[in-house]
Amino acid sequence: MPAAKSKTELLSITDKEFVKLSKLIDSISEKQAKRKFEEDISIKDVVGHRAHWISLFLSWYKDGVAGKDVYFPAKGYKWSDLKKYNKQLKSRQRELRWDDVVSLLKKNHKKLIYFINSKSNSELYQGAMQGANNDWTVGRWAEAAGASHYRSAAKFIRACLREESTT
């Protein structure tokens, strides 16, 4: 469920969750980041995924406002193809180093914050996002791409670190 109902709340929760995630990833070595855990997924894979989804959200918004077709989650994929899409994303990001993935997340987080700051409260929370074909507001989409994803990534990373400490 979305937590934010205003621009101020959205900025606050996005920052709060990003700070928590940053504290976790800043202490992780390349070796830890690349270790495979459940379903052959690494911390690096999860962080790269979160960085990518910020870009997807921003492109959905841009295309919708421009009156272009908006492809959810991406052109040639349906929501039911999400596992396939994420597997291909993981493959495309395979050669990225841990530092590259962390930098990409930080860069895309800045883009998300800039985007949120550039919108009024009504642009974020009144009416559905153009092209989305559902009733989610722009703010709700931004929260899903940012704060919610940061929170789930942090949860995954904490579980990985607990597992690592017991092995």
Average pLDDT over residues 97-112: 97
Checking if the pLDDT of 114 tops 90, the result is: yes
Q: Which residue has the higher pLDDT, 76 or 22?
A: 22
Residue-wise pLDDT tens digits, 133-163? 889 999 999 999 999 999 999 999 999 999 8
Average pLDDT across the chain, whole number: 93
Q: What is the model's pLDDT at position 40?
A: 86
Residue 2 lies in a domain: no
Is 68 within the bounds of a domain?
Answer: yes
| Buried b or exposed e, range 43-78, using 16+ CB within 10 angstroms | bbbbbbbbbbbbebbbebbeebeeeeebeebbeeee
**Structural domain includes residue 1:** no
R_g of the chain computed on alpha carbons: 16
Our count of domains for the chain comes to 1
DSSP alpha helix (H) spans, 6-148: 7-26, 30-34, 43-65, 82-92, 98-118, 121-125, 138-143
Structural domain of 136: 7-166
- Separation between Cα atoms, residue 39 and residue 131, nearest integer Å: 33
Q: Is residue 103 part of a domain?
A: yes
Task: Read off the CATH number of the domain in which 30 is found.
Answer: 1.20.120.450
Q: Averaged over 50-70, what is the pLDDT?
A: 95
Decide if 136 is inside a domain: yes
Q: In this predicted structure, what is the pLDDT of residue 167?
A: 64
127 assigned to some structural domain: yes
Helix axes 43-65, 98-118, angle to 10 degrees: 30
Please tell me which residue, 131 or 120, carries the higher pLDDT value: 120
Is residue 39 over pLDDT 60? yes
The 10 Å CB-count burial string (b at 16+, else e) for 80-112 is eeeeebbeebbeebeebebeebbebbeebbeeb
pLDDT, tens digit, 9 for 90 and up, residues 84-100: 888 888 989 999 999 99
| 133 part of a folded domain | yes
